[in-house]
Amino acid sequence: PIVFLNGTYVRAEDARISPFDRGFTFGEGVYEVCIAVNGKFVDAPAHLARLDRSLAACGIAHPPERAKLDSIMEELLRKNDVTTGLVYIQVTSGVSPRNFTIRPEGRSTLLMMAQASDFEQTSAFREGIHVQLREDIRWLHRDIKTTMLMPQVMAKRDALAQGMSDTLFYDEQGITEGASSNVFLVDAHGTLVTRPLSNRLLAGCTRERILDLAREAGLPVDERPIQRAEFATATECFVTSATYLITPVLTVDGVSIADGQVGLVTRTLQRLYCNSMND
């Protein structure tokens, strides 16, 4: 694969990042994942706006290529022969001696790469997934998309070890989000529910699109925390992210949502979302 690192396109095996990069030593980095379908990016401006917010929140300087990220994204698809897949963008604060508070003198590190993947063809998207619940032990700036992903990696590995595909997190107010997704359910009254934005969850770009599509379709929508007990009475549940699109959740901790089949609201939103991507 060809990646973009600090101003140049290089083969992945020739890319060199300093051992003193603060992304490596301190996890001082932020990232984005944006997908392309048939060569067209989905929600790229929203992902780049969130990258700006993450950089600002962490006090990381913009990479000098900031204004050209769109064209680099396009070029990475071309150079890697990807038409449907994802582009990963990571920015770290750069290189400095290993000292917590030093501000790097050089540029922020920018790494971008592309990867082919057919999101609409995965079994998760088509058939749904089984998830477990775990207490959300992460920090309280989950609205910033940082590369400090140890809790998510551990939660997802733990889910696999339990024979499930992913983990949803909860705190004292209810479900926060999935380990790499936002969570929606259709409650006992037929209302589409998802947690309101705060520092306790990432403002998903897909979440925003789904809320818009649901409102346009005339579905009742309520942004409020989902309680763990509600999975017992919910009629449908799904998770959203750039790569999950809208993925049905069939069971939570081994208990079926309703009859354990993919529901009508989920299928309708999948169709509306895929139509909007393919427009």
Examine residue 204 and tell whether it contacts ligand PMP (CB under 6 A). Answer: yes
Examine residue 177 and tell whether it contacts ligand PMP (CB under 6 A). Answer: yes
Examine residue 60 and tell whether it contacts ligand PMP (CB under 6 A). Answer: no
Task: Encode 110-148: b = buried (16+ Cβ within 10 Å), e = exposed.
Answer: bbbbbeeeebeeeebbeebbbbbebebebeeebbbbbee
The one among 36, 76, 131, 205 contacting ligand PMP by CB under 6 A: 205
Question: How far is residue 30's CA from residue 64's CA, in Å, rounded to a whole number?
Answer: 16
Nearer to ligand PMP, 86 or 95 (CB): 86
The nearest distance, CB 157 to ligand PMP, in angstroms, is 15
Per CB under 6 A, which of residues 224..243 are in contact with ligand PMP? 240-242
The one among 146, 181, 194, 266 contacting ligand PMP by CB under 6 A: 181
DSSP 67-89: GGHHHHHHHHHHHTT-SSEEEEE
Examine residue 247 and tell whether it contacts ligand PMP (CB under 6 A). Answer: no
Examine residue 90 and tell whether it contacts ligand PMP (CB under 6 A). Answer: no
Nearer to ligand PMP, 95 or 214 (CB): 214
Catalytic residue, candidates 40, 79, 145, 156 = 145
**For ligand PMP, how many residues bind (rule: CB under 6 A)?**
13
Nearer to ligand PMP, 109 or 180 (CB): 180
Strand-pairing partners, residue 170, are: 135, 175
Stretch that binds ligand PMP, among 15-23, 65-73, 173-181, 259-267 (CB under 6 A): 173-181
The nearest distance, CB 33 to ligand PMP, in angstroms, is 6
Q: Residue for token digits 């990258």? A: 51
Examine residue 207 and tell whether it contacts ligand PMP (CB under 6 A). Answer: yes
CA angle at residue 12 from 9 to 13, to 5 degrees? 125
Question: How far is residue 157's CA from residue 119's CA, in Å, rounded to a whole number?
Answer: 21
Reply yes or no on whether 40 is catalytic. Answer: no
Examine residue 195 and tell whether it contacts ligand PMP (CB under 6 A). Answer: no
Question: How far is residue 87's CA from residue 74's CA, in Å, rounded to a whole number?
Answer: 9
Question: Is residue 99 packed enough to be buried (19+ CB in 10 Å), middle (13-18) or exposed (0-12)?
Answer: exposed
Examine residue 182 and tell whether it contacts ligand PMP (CB under 6 A). Answer: yes
**245, 208, 238: which is closest to 223 by C-alpha?**
208
Examine residue 180 and tell whether it contacts ligand PMP (CB under 6 A). Answer: yes
CA dihedral 273, 276, 277, 279 (to 10 degrees): 160
Nearer to ligand PMP, 130 or 207 (CB): 207
The nearest distance, CB 241 to ligand PMP, in angstroms, is 4
Question: Is residue 55 packed enough to be buried (19+ CB in 10 Å), middle (13-18) or exposed (0-12)?
Answer: buried
Q: Going by C-beta distance under 8 Å and a sequence separation of 6 or more, which residues neighbour residue 83?
A: 36, 38, 39, 77
The nearest distance, CB 235 to ligand PMP, in angstroms, is 23
- Per the CB < 8 A criterion, the answer to whether 176 and 195 are in contact is yes
> Which residues contact ligand PMP by CB under 6 A?
33, 177, 180-182, 202, 204-207, 240-242
Catalytic residues, by residue number, are 145
